[in-house]
Amino acid sequence: MSRLVVVSNRVALPGSNQNGGLAVALDAALRDSGGLWFGWSGKVAREHSGEVHEEHHEGIDYVTVDLSREDYEGHYNGFSNRTLWPLLHFRLDLVDYNVGTQAAYRGVNALFAEKLAKRLRDDDIVWVHDYHLLPLAQELRKRGVRARIGFFLHVPFPSADIVAGLPNHEQTFGALVAYDLVGFQTERDLERFQDYMRLFGGGEVQGRGEVRGQDGRQVRADAFPIGIDTAALESLASRSGRIAAIRRVHSSLNGRMLALGVDRLDYSKGLPERFRAFERFLEKYTKLHGSLTYLQIAPVSRGGVASYRALRRELEQFAGHINGGHAHPDWTPVRYVNRTYPHATLTGLYRLARIGLITPLRDGMNLVAKEYVAAQDPADPGALVLSIFAGAARELDGALLVNPFDSDGVADAIAAAAKMPLEERRERWQSMITRLRDYDIHAWRKDFLRALAETQR
Ligand SMILES: O=P(O)(O)OC[C@H]1O[C@H](O[C@H]2O[C@H](CO)[C@@H](O)[C@H](O)[C@H]2O)[C@H](O)[C@@H](O)[C@@H]1O
Ligand SMILES: O=c1ccn([C@@H]2O[C@H](COP(=O)(O)OP(=O)(O)O)[C@@H](O)[C@H]2O)c(=O)[nH]1
């Protein structure tokens, strides 16, 4: 049987506490099959990039590489998170392009390829993840790697004209044709990729998911919406009432309903817009005052990038402003927390929450939305308020779908969720949990790897 080799910038090393969807999902996928996980060690070395660390744990070999301060700044904080991340989330206004960081990005991809190529066998199945590693297959092929290589993009693929706004976009996005299979979260992402290849990438679209690159190389493309480990989360959530921290939160609510948001502190998650909508809810629905508390969990993310630091300052002020305007001595409408929690605690919080409030401006998938549904008590499930711009909105048809830019619409949806009768909550939840049970993280992995194995060579 072929060995699975997963490559991603972020690796969930044994014992580490991860709060990004990619690491959480790949950890679940690799636990199933075993294999090799290759990527950045998370360490910034004093001098040079390239020191390799190896460890083995429960059937998985972890091989990770240190990056120098310069490469960490140029590759991760720079081209990946100041250029590609905003571009891929439709935020051309925030794109900070720089030839130096682009060179660092290319250099780190070449370094990863150099370290990985010598560990690969021809019958390995290599699965590369996300925007940090778009040109990795091209670099591996240059080094003679003949194994099948697939790529999965966890974030959205934006409209073609946005991608074309990036200087030298062909170098980065044209490199995708070196893969055998390219996977996207949704059908819309696939369509936009095809548009880009046809209009600006010098490619030809020969049918749905059949793209020929400028150099004549053929690549398959398809949509594979990422799932969660539904059964494991359902079971974790059903036991969460015993956790002391969850019992404390429960009693602190004093019988009030809980609305919950859980998001990395990232501008793509629409947090200021969500705070504004919650303020609108307080202004419009005064009769509901005192009956609902909004808890926002927002672990700090990418603090090396200025726009993330500015967002943190803005939210601190905003939370204070809302509470200053609406709190009573015995009720604080917003609780704002910057810590990271393990899944055992999060599932307990999801289950306590009558409302899941998830309103990103753009999101590849949003696993939190799926986790919220999986964690509900089937006898008394909560209601999900979800942005139409999250990839998860395609599957979670029982949610109250909202436009996150429309603060009145979101405020109305919060009120509707708070008042929703039990029967309606059950009906909506049933259709969502059925989908999450049918197409979970294991089905996603099998689906992608089957499609990769079937690619023509
Ligand atoms: O590694 P970080 O810079 O700390 O960021 C965390 C991860 O954020 C992004 O996650 C995406 O993947 C999720 C799973 O497919 C998806 O649900 C979500 O919509 C995406 O935003 C990023 O794409 C990962 O590379 C990061 O590791
Ligand atoms: O305190 C936290 C906050 C988030 N997460 C996890 O981080 C992931 C976030 O994934 P999502 O797709 O929602 O967004 P991303 O952060 O990847 O953009 C989910 O599995 C969350 O359960 C976590 O474990 N602890």
> What atom in ligand 2 is closest to the CA of residue 226?
12
What is the number of the ligand 1 atom nearest to the C-alpha of 364? 19
- Please state the atom number of ligand 1 nearest to the C-alpha of residue 302: 3
Task: Establish whether residue 264 lines the binding site of ligand 2, counting it when its CB lies within 6 angstroms of any ligand atom.
Answer: yes
φ, ψ for residue 139 (rounded to 5)? -70, -35
CA distances from 421 to 18, 383, 414, 417 (A): 36, 10, 14, 9
pLDDT at 305: 96
Query: Which two three-digit tokens encode residue 189?
Result: 């992402």
The residue annotated as part of the active site, out of 154, 229, 263, 266, is 154
CB 83 within 8 A of CB 33: no
- Please give the chain's pLDDT, 457 residues, in tens: 789 999 999 999 988 876 677 887 888 778 888 899 999 999 999 889 999 999 999 999 999 999 999 999 999 999 999 999 999 999 999 999 999 999 999 999 999 999 999 999 999 999 999 999 999 999 999 999 999 999 999 999 999 999 999 999 999 999 999 999 999 999 999 999 999 999 999 999 999 999 999 888 999 999 999 999 999 999 999 999 999 999 999 999 999 999 999 999 999 999 999 999 999 999 999 999 999 999 999 999 999 999 999 999 999 999 999 999 999 999 999 999 999 999 999 999 999 999 999 999 999 999 999 999 999 999 999 999 999 999 999 999 999 999 999 999 999 999 999 999 999 999 999 999 999 999 999 999 999 999 999 998 7
Specify the residue with its C-alpha closest to ligand 2, atom 3.
Answer: 19
* Ligand 2 mean position, distance from CA 346 (Å): 10
Nearest CA to ligand 2 atom 24: 19
How far does residue 372's CA lie from ligand 2's centre (Å)? 11
Q: If residue 69 lies in a helix (H) or strand (E), which one and from where to where?
A: helix 69-71
Compute CA distances 118 → 37, 112, 114, 231, 431, whole Å: 15, 11, 7, 38, 47
Q: What pLDDT, on a 0 to 100 scale, did the predictor assign at position 456?
A: 82
Atom of ligand 1 nearest to the CA of 390: 19
3-state secondary structure of 387: strand
Answer yes or no: are the C-beta atoms of 125 and 2 closer than 8 Å. yes
> Which one of the ligands is nearest to 260 CA?
2
Query: Cα 230 to chain center, whole Å?
Result: 17
pLDDT score at 303: 95
Q: Which residue, 151, 129, 103, is CA-closest to 39?
A: 129
Return the closest-CA partner of residue 456 out of 226, 212, 224, 214: 212
**What angle in degrees, to the nearest 10, is found between the helix axes of 367-374 and 230-238?**
50
Does this model's pTM top 0.80? My answer is yes
Mutate to test the pocket of ligand 2, among 131, 264, 372 (most ligand atoms within 8 A of CB): 264
User: Can you give the pLDDT at residue 28?
Assistant: 77
Whether 363 is catalytic is yes
Starting from the CA of residue 264, give the closest ligand.
Answer: 2
Of 84, 49, 235, nearest to 158 (Cα)?
84
Q: For this structure, is 289 an active site residue?
A: no
Q: Is residue 92 within 8 Å of 167, Cβ to Cβ?
A: no
**Where in the sequence of the chain do the CATH 3.40.50.2000 domains occur?**
4-227+441-453, 230-438
Of the candidates 222, 219, 164, 213, the one whose C-alpha atom is nearest the C-alpha of residue 188 is 222
Rounded to whole angstroms, the Cα distance separating 395 from 392 reads 6
What is the dihedral angle through the alpha carbons of 390, 386, 398, 433, rounded to the nearest 10 degrees?
Answer: 70
For residue 21, how far is its CA from the centre of ligand 1 (angstroms)?
5
Residue closest to 60 by CA, chosen among 89, 88, 35: 35
As a whole number of angstroms, the distance between CA 36 and CA 54 comes to 10
Residues 383 and 417 sit within 8 Å (Cβ to Cβ): yes
In the reported structure, the alpha carbon of residue 88 is separated from the centroid of ligand 1 by a whole-number distance in angstroms of: 12
Please give the sequence-ordered ranges of beta strands (E in DSSP) within 204-281, or none if there are none.
204-207, 210-212, 218-223, 257-262
Q: 60 pairs with which residues across the strands?
A: 35, 57
d(CA 192, CA 155): 13
Place of tokens 């909560």: 382
- The CATH superfamily assigned to 230-438 is Glycogen Phosphorylase B; (3.40.50.2000)
The CA 211 to ligand 1 mean position distance, Å, reads 26
Closest listed residue to residue 178, CA positions, set 209, 148, 208: 148
**37 has which bridge partners?**
6, 62
Cα radius of gyration rounded to whole Å, the chain: 22
From the list 180, 263, 363, 440, the catalytic residue is 363
Ligand 1 neighbours, Cβ below 6 Å, are: 10, 20-23, 25, 130, 154-155, 226, 301-302, 363-367
- Classify burial at 265, counting beta carbons within 10 Å of its beta carbon; exposed 0-12, middle 13-18, buried 19 or more: buried
Find the 154 Cα to ligand 1 centroid distance in Å. 6
> What's the CATH code, domain 4-227+441-453?
3.40.50.2000
